[in-house]
Amino acid sequence: MSANEALIKVVDLKKAFTGVHALNGVSTEIKKGEVVFVVGPSGSGKSTFLRCLNRLEDPSGGHIYFDGVDLMDQKVNINTHRQKMGMVFQHFNLFPHMTILKNMTLAPMKLQGVSKADAEAEAIKLLKRVGLGDRANAYPSQLSGGQKQRVAIVRALCMKPEVLLFDEPTSALDPEMVGEVLSVMRELANEHMTMVVVTHEMGFAREVADRILFMADGQILEEGKPDEFFAHPKNDRLKAFLSKVI
């Protein structure tokens, strides 16, 4: 794939819940190695957009092309493609009855046929990378929120995904724990991991994003590079939004 080729291409994406149009024709492209942040008011469709990218939510219309494959094609094995799209949730979604090591090795062993020895070696390496090498045999209940979210990130990395999707990864954390999670994400961005991040952390978006999308009413109303996005917003809804959050 060339540097200018889109890893993810979204065309006229729609999602309707009962009586509510959460997405109203969203179109965008995300290139390999690009870090894209999605911001906007609550209820704007940000998380729905993110969850549609790997079809955790089934869109009502439109197309999502990933690695050139239309994920809306009924013949596509969506589970195969989900393995290439790591997802980090707001509330960690760790299995409480399993150790951290088991949480991290379950999917590579079960879905990719990785041996136990190799899966554990990779998990330990990733845990050390985020400062949690001594917590492999702990259970989620024994970890702080920031530690759980760091585990959730490296658990996704165990699958060697092509892209990481983050759904408000710091919004459930106490303020003093936010920094430790953002530092891991910052490191991934510096390594050119393709990332799509839904967040309310405007300072982090300004620092790390290659491009920022502003969503409201289920649409992308403006997008741009951080400097231009924050310093010279054009859309009136974006101007009003930034005046409240910055």
Cβ distance 39 to 202 under 8 Å?
Answer: yes
Q: CA-to-CA distance for 93 and 213, rounded, in angstroms?
A: 26
- Measured CA to CA in angstroms, residue 107 lies from 110, 111, 120, 159, 211 at distances of 5, 5, 12, 7, 31
* Cα three-residue angle 5-10-15, rounded to 5 degrees: 170
pTM over 0.95: no
- Neighbour-count burial for 128-145, b at 16+ CB within 10 Å, e otherwise: eebebeebbeebbeebeb
Angle at 205 between CA 199 and CA 207, to 5 degrees: 155
Which phi and psi (to 5°) does residue 71 adopt? -70, -10
Angle at 34 between CA 31 and CA 39, to 5 degrees: 110
246 residues of the chain, pLDDT tens digit each:
445 679 999 999 999 988 788 999 999 999 999 999 999 999 899 999 999 999 999 999 999 999 999 999 989 998 888 899 999 988 888 999 999 999 999 999 999 999 999 999 999 999 999 999 999 999 999 999 999 999 999 999 999 999 999 999 998 888 888 998 999 999 999 999 999 999 999 999 999 999 999 999 999 999 999 999 999 999 999 999 999 988
Tokens of 233: 């917003």
Q: Which residue has the tokens 């309310």?
A: 200
Distance CA 246, CA 229 (A): 13
